């Protein structure tokens, strides 16, 4: 029997740089994760996914890897990683590492060799192309981090491809040596006990070998086009499955930016032996103007109907064909109470309401560090931000193309930018939120004095306690893993409601995702049901849900 432990698990993501610093250099580290294992055990999670902590120039906070086999000294030694894995295992917690296999850092020895000449062992490890006759880039592809996706190299007199920063050259997956080199890295960490992998932009690894220009409706110099689901993607991922994932029984969750549920069915159908789960982006786009030239910076109020529609579509379409990964937050996403809820008047209520609708679904829930205490977006000025994506997008959209004003960009940044999630973890109300005794690498959210782990745990409105209860529910009730899902009230603009059914048991999961009181007739049909979890302490008039009120009801 395959051990599908992840189907009844809740996974916690750590962004090591911002989690906990043990040596006062202002940067979170691996001993810091080790020091907080008891905290995570108390929360009740089953596994920790650690964002990249390998040797890296940190151009993209570790998503630019220089040596996959070496822990960056800023995070500790390889022995600290091995100790962390062992200590976690002793507590029954699994460790998932982050595999960035679409690209490396330009400081990787693979790339340093590759750029030296056209005929050495590493020459074809990356995607090199000759310039056009006029010396310009091979095509109009744009980088996610601004400008062309091609950078010219003087030595080779060729361009290399990078979907992200120019310091993040894309690996050439057409080359079997590249694929084997990545599988070797995965075997290396498996030998040290790692239990699985989160795979960064894994759907980008296969490129159309004709390298055609992207459509250019807005007449731009460079266009960021579709970077996903290329011609040989399934073949490569299946090969990885056969070479390493399956034989070494390692869990896998792939990041799959533009995949729809029908694409997901191909990636995660167990019969096809590719990945266990993928992270979709679709439900995260419910506050974005579709097709706007400013992409993710073109924000609009979030649409509850669309959120329900998208999540339900994934529930229905993967049922019996694969497994969902469930998330609202990660290191690329803003804090939910600030983004979709109300972080002023209903921080506790909105944090727990969104948690309820997510954790009641079928799939594996992921919690991002700080989400379990309802951390919020900081209100930064432009000069406070650190993220390469934000900075390069500002240059491109505000300064060069002038398609968005600086003030609208800042407004969007405060809502959705990736840095919202990267401020240091707020442990207590001492200096720097107890994150570091030194100078933190990134500004702490000033609200740490009131909003921190120590205060939350003591509070009568504890987000941590609510998460703990949600996790316990999942561990104790097979209906959450196995139960049938049905969306209710699909057109309601405020209420997110669905039922789960299994073995004669029926649950109603319901939340008011608005800051006004809502009359919900549907609740009358569930009057005999008993409350098993809720985020308001006192009882209420029948069939009313107060602002961001959420509950789970059960038929027996």
Confirm or reject binding of residue 29 to ligand TEU (CB under 6 A): no
Q: Which of residues 423-462 bind ligand TEU (CB under 6 A)?
A: none
Question: For residue 287, which of 279, 297, 277, 278 has the smallest C-alpha distance?
Answer: 297
| Residue number, 24 or 91, with CB nearest to Ca ion | 24
> Is residue 255 annotated as part of the catalytic site, yes or no?
yes
Binding mask 28-67 for Ca ion (x = CB under 5 A): -x--------------------------------------
Question: For residue 201, which of 152, 244, 151, 237 has the smallest C-alpha distance?
Answer: 237
Q: Which of residues 58-77 bind ligand TEU (CB under 6 A)?
A: 60, 63
Q: Closest separation between CB of residue 420 and Ca ion, Å?
A: 22
| Distance of alpha carbon 156 from alpha carbon 150, whole angstroms | 14
Catalytic residue, from 21, 34, 195, 200: name it.
200
- In order, the DSSP letters of 342-359 are -TTT-HHHHHHHHHHHHH
Q: Which of residues 172-231 bind ligand TEU (CB under 6 A)?
A: 200-201
| Distance of alpha carbon 145 from alpha carbon 393, whole angstroms | 6
Q: Closest separation between CB of residue 389 and ligand TEU, Å?
A: 6
Confirm or reject binding of residue 21 to Ca ion (CB under 5 A): yes
Confirm or reject binding of residue 164 to ligand TEU (CB under 6 A): yes
| Distance of alpha carbon 86 from alpha carbon 303, whole angstroms | 44
Confirm or reject binding of residue 419 to ligand TEU (CB under 6 A): no
Q: Which of residues 306-335 bind ligand TEU (CB under 6 A)?
A: 331-332
The gap from C-alpha 37 to its chain's centroid, in whole angstroms, comes to: 21
Single residue of 296, 308, 339, 415 touching ligand TEU by CB under 6 A: 296
Are residues 99 and 185 in contact, defined by beta-carbon separation less than 8 angstroms? yes
Confirm or reject binding of residue 100 to ligand TEU (CB under 6 A): yes
Hey, what are 534's tokens? Answer: 């809720």
| Among ligand TEU, Ca ion, none, partner that 518 touches (CB below 5 to 8 angstroms by kind) | none
Rounded alpha-carbon distances, angstroms, from residue 52 to 9, 71, 222, 251 = 22, 9, 29, 17
Confirm or reject binding of residue 395 to Ca ion (CB under 5 A): no
| Among ligand TEU, Ca ion, none, partner that 201 touches (CB below 5 to 8 angstroms by kind) | ligand TEU
| Distance of alpha carbon 29 from alpha carbon 37, whole angstroms | 13
| Among ligand TEU, Ca ion, none, partner that 144 touches (CB below 5 to 8 angstroms by kind) | ligand TEU
Counting DSSP H helices and E strands in the chain, the numbers are: 15, 20
Binding mask 250-269 for ligand TEU (x = CB under 6 A): -----x-x------------
Interface with Ca ion (CB under 5 A), residue total: 5
Question: For residue 99, which of 187, 172, 37 has the smallest C-alpha distance?
Answer: 187
> Is residue 72 annotated as part of the catalytic site, yes or no?
no
| Residue number, 44 or 438, with CB nearest to Ca ion | 438
| Distance of alpha carbon 382 from alpha carbon 411, whole angstroms | 10
| Residue number, 73 or 176, with CB nearest to Ca ion | 73
| Distance of alpha carbon 196 from alpha carbon 49, whole angstroms | 9
| Residue number, 153 or 389, with CB nearest to ligand TEU | 389
| CB-based burial label for 231 (10 Å; 0-12, 13-18, 19+) | exposed
Q: Closest separation between CB of residue 304 and ligand TEU, Å?
A: 21
Q: Where along the sequence are the contacts to ligand TEU (CB under 6 A)?
A: 60, 63, 100, 144, 164, 200-201, 255, 257, 296, 331-332, 389, 418
Catalytic residues, by residue number, are 200, 255
């Amino acid at each position: 029997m395959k051990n599908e432990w992840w189907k009844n698990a809740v996974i916690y993501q750590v962004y090591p740089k911002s989690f906990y610093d043990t040596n006062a250099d202002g940067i979170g580290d691996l001993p810091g994760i080790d020091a907080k294992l008891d905290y995570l055990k108390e929360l009740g999670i089953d596994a920790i996914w650690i964002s990249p902590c390998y040797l890296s120039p940190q151009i993209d906070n570790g998503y630019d890897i220089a040596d996959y086999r070496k822990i960056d000294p800023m995070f500790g030694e390889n022995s600290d990683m091995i100790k962390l894995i062992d200590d976690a295992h002793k507590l029954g917690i699994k460790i998932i590492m982050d595999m960035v296999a679409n690209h490396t850092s330009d400081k990787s020895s693979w790339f340093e060799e590759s750029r030296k000449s056209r005929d050495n062992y590493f020459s074809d490890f990356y995607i090199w192309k000759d310039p056009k006759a006029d010396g310009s880039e091979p095509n109009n592809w744009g980088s996610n981090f601004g400008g062309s996706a091609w950078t010219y190299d003087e030595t080779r007199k060729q361009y290399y491809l990078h979907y992200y920063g120019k310091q993040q050259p894309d690996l050439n997956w057409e080359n079997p040596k590249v694929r084997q080199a990545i599988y070797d890295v995965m075997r290396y960490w498996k030998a040290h006990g790692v239990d699985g992998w989160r795979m960064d932009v894994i759907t980008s690894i296969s490129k159309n070998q004709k390298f055609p220009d992207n459509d250019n409706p807005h007449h731009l110099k460079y266009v960021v086009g579709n970077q996903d689901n290329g011609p040989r993607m399934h073949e490569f991922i299946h090969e990885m499955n056969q070479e390493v994932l399956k034989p070494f029984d390692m869990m896998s969750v792939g990041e799959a930016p533009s995949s729809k549920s029908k694409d997901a069915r191909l990636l995660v159908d167990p019969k096809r032996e590719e990945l266990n789960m993928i992270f979709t982006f679709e439900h995260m786009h419910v506050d974005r103007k579709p097709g706007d030239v400013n992409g993710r910076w073109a924000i609009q109020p979030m649409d509850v109907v669309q959120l329900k529609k998208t999540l339900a579509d994934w529930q229905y379409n993967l049922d019996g064909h694969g497994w969902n990964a469930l998330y609202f937050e990660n290191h690329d996403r803003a804090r939910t109470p600030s983004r979709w809820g109300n972080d002023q008047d209903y921080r506790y209520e909105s944090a727990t309401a969104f948690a309820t609708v997510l954790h009641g679904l079928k799939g594996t829930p992921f919690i991002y560090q700080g989400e379990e205490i309802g951390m919020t977006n900081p209100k930064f000025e432009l000069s406070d931000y650190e993220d390469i994506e934000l900075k390069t997008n500002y240059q491109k959209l505000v300064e060069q193309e002038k398609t968005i004003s600086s003030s609208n960009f800042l407004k969007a940044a405060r809502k959705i930018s990736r840095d919202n999630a990267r401020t240091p973890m707020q442990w207590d109300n001492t200096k720097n939120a107890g994150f570091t005794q030194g100078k933190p690498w990134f500004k702490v959210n000033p609200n740490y004095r009131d909003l921190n782990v120590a205060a939350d745990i003591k509070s009568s409105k504890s987000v941590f306690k609510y998460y703990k209860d949600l996790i316990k529910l999942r561990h104790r009730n097979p209906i959450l893993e196995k139960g049938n899902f049905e969306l209710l009230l699909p057109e309601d603009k405020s209420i997110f409601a669905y039922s789960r059914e299994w073995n004669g048991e029926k649950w109603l999961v319901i939340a008011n995702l608005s800051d006004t009181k809502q009359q919900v007739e549907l609740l009358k049909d569930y009057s005999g049901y008993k409350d098993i979890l809720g985020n308001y302490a006192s009882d209420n008039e029948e069939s009313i849900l107060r602002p961001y009120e959420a509950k789970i009801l059960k038929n027996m």
